[in-house]
């Protein structure tokens, strides 16, 4: 496979704490590649611990793009990510470096691989401010009034997704669910998603959460919280750490809640990646060999 011709980039996906970043970094060091982040929360600066961004030492080992680059007040959706990611991917190829797209935000990866449905409007900052000031219950009620099908297709517990769906309805005068994702075009395998045994993944999630407070996440959140917009506020662990800062919870309870929320998120990620035919599910070691084989096949 020649990745430049058959896909925009070599892709590494998978659930949180599965080892995606370490695999991408080792591959980049072996091949001279450049890493392009596809995690919705690692885009933001000021949250390196909470969003498990690569450390400064890791960032120094290979070129990285879209890690900690954007102000946490900025709005992001798949359309904006697609535009920026494609620009960075093109720059990587132009510089003679393989782009490795790595992250756990399946929607962003799918956007890069297949594009997005036509006609979706860009976020409207003024409308967003109005919607963000309202309760989730009120937003859900209005969304369902405008688009009854949205109750089955939109995560009504996720304020960011509810606001985006409602925003589309209000800006276009059409139900959000009338905008269909483009049918995935048939692609050869363009990468992997890391499949980790459930018990091992849970241990990794627990270990990561257990280190947060020791590493200084409270100060990180204290400084970042006043600057955060609705996208960044959805980062797992933010609410739990904020409750500790407010004196409404203790560290031990916060860690337990972060572990629970992260496990739930990891299951949703696995469900998403299982439906992506262009990525092969493999454990870490097999993934390394498989990706190297993909790249070497393109050079023959």
Sheet bearing 279-282, strands edge to edge: 64-65, 34-37, 99-102, 10-13, 191-194, 279-282
Predicted confidence at residue 207, as pLDDT, reads 97
pLDDT tops 60 at residue 299: no
pLDDT tops 70 at residue 3: no
Predicted confidence at residue 300, as pLDDT, reads 32
The enclosing H or E element of 281 equals strand 279-282
User: How does the average pLDDT of the chain come out, rounded?
Assistant: 90
CATH of the domain at 194: 3.40.50.300
- Which structure tokens are listed for 166? 């409602």
pLDDT tops 50 at residue 2: no
Whole-number Cα distances in Å, 299 to 7, 33, 75, 90, 92: 15, 15, 40, 19, 18
The reply to whether 47 and 88 lie within a common domain is yes
Predicted confidence at residue 114, as pLDDT, reads 86
Overall average pLDDT of the 178-196 stretch: 77
Q: Quick one: pLDDT band at residue 77, thresholds 50, 70, 90?
A: confident
The reply to whether 166 and 54 lie within a common domain is no
The reply to whether 13 and 132 lie within a common domain is no
**Residue 193 gets which letter from DSSP?**
E
Whether 193 is covered by a domain: the verdict is: yes
- Which structure tokens are listed for 258? 């972060």
Q: Provide the whole-model pTM.
A: 0.82
- Which structure tokens are listed for 267? 């299951």
**Residue 46 gets which letter from DSSP?**
T
- In this predicted model, what pLDDT tens digit does every residue of 132-185 receive, in sequence order? 888 999 999 999 998 988 878 788 888 888 998 899 889 888 888 887 665 555
- Which structure tokens are listed for 206? 């627990």
User: CB-hemisphere CA count at 13 Å for 102?
Assistant: 29
Whether 101 is covered by a domain: the verdict is: yes
The 10 Å Cβ neighbour count of residue 182 is 12
Cα(first)–Cα(last) distance of the chain, in Å?
Answer: 9
Predicted confidence at residue 152, as pLDDT, reads 80
The tally of domains found in the chain comes to 2
Q: Which domain holds residue 160?
A: 125-178
Predicted confidence at residue 76, as pLDDT, reads 86
Q: Return the closest-CA partner of residue 97 out of 52, 64, 143.
A: 64
- In this predicted model, what pLDDT tens digit does every residue of 16-38 receive, in sequence order? 999 999 999 999 999 999 999 99
Whole-number Cα distances in Å, 156 to 139, 178, 268: 9, 18, 15
The reply to whether 104 and 223 lie within a common domain is yes
- In this predicted model, what pLDDT tens digit does every residue of 247-284 receive, in sequence order? 999 999 999 999 999 999 999 999 999 999 999 999 99
The reply to whether 247 and 192 lie within a common domain is yes
């Amino acid at each position: 496979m020649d990745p430049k011709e058959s896909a925009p980039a070599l892709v590494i996906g998978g659930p949180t704490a599965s080892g995606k970043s370490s695999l991408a970094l080792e591959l980049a060091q072996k091949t001279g590649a450049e890493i392009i982040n596809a995690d919705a929360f690692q885009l933001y600066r000021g949250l390196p611990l909470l969003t498990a961004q690569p450390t400064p030492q890791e960032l120094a080992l290979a070129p990285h793009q879209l890690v900690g680059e954007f102000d946490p007040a900025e709005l992001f959706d798949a359309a904006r990510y697609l535009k920026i990611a494609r620009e960075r991917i093109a720059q990587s190829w132009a510089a003679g470096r393989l782009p490795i797209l790595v992250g756990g935000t399946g929607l962003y990866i799918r956007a890069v691989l297949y594009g997005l449905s036509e006609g979706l409007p860009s976020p409207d900052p003024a409308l967003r401010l109005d919607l963000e000031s309202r309760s989730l219950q009120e937003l859900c009620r209005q969304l369902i009034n405008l688009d009854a099908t949205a109750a089955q297709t939109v995560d009504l517990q996720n304020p960011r997704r509810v606001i985006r769906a409602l925003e589309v309805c209000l800006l276009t005068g059409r139900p959000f669910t009338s905008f269909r994702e483009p049918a995935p075009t048939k692609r050869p395998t363009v990468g992997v998603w890391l499949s980790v045994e459930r018990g091992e993944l849970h241990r990794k999630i627990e270990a990561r959460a257990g280190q947060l407070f020791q590493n200084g996440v409270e100060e990180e959140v204290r400084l970042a919280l006043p600057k955060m917009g609705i996208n960044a506020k959805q980062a797992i662990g933010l609410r739990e750490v904020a409750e500790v800062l407010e004196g409404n919870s203790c560290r031990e309870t916060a860690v337990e809640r972060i572990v629970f929320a992260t496990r739930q998120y990891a299951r949703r990620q696995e469900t998403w990646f299982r439906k992506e035919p262009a990525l092969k599910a493999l454990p870490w070691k097999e993934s390394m060999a498989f990706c190297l084989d993909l790249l070497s096949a393109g050079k023959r």
